[in-house]
Amino acid sequence: MKLTKLATAAATGAILLQAALPIFADTTLIISSNGSDTENEVEVSNRSTTTVVQENNTQVSNQINVKAETGDNEAEDNTGGDVSIETGDAKVDVQVKNEVNSNVAEVETCGECAGDTEVEISGNGSGSENEVELKDMSETEVYQTNVAEILNEVKVDAKTGDNEAEDNTNGDVKIDTGDATVKVLSDTKANMNMASIGGSGDGGSVKLLIANNGSDSDNEIELGLRRETLLAQDNLTAIGNLFDLEAETGDNEAEDNTGGEVEIETGNALVDATVKNWAGFNYADLGCCVLEDILAKIVGNGVDSENEIEAWLKDETEVFQGAESETGFENGLELEVETGDNEVEDSTQGDGEDPIIDTGDGEAKVMVSNEGSTNVLGDLSDWEMPEWDFGGWDFSFSFDFSDFLAWLGSQA
Domain that holds residue 99: 2-197+204-284+293-411
Q: How big is the chain by its Cα radius of gyration, in Å?
A: 38
Domains of the chain: total: 1
Q: In Å, what is the CA distance from 196 to each residue of 13, 110, 139, 348, 407?
A: 16, 14, 15, 81, 20
Q: How much is the pLDDT for 281? A: 85
Q: How much is the pLDDT for 385? A: 56
Q: How much is the pLDDT for 297? A: 87
The DSSP code for 201 is S
Report d(CA 255, CA 257) in Å as an integer: 6
Task: State the 10-residue block means of pLDDT for the chain, 412 residues long.
Answer: 36 34 63 88 85 90 90 86 89 90 75 70 92 87 92 92 88 90 92 79 77 92 87 92 92 87 90 91 74 80 90 84 86 89 81 79 88 75 56 37 43 42
CA atoms within 13 A on the CB side of 310: 9
Report d(CA 350, CA 258) in Å as an integer: 8
Helix ranges (H only) for 295-401 are: none
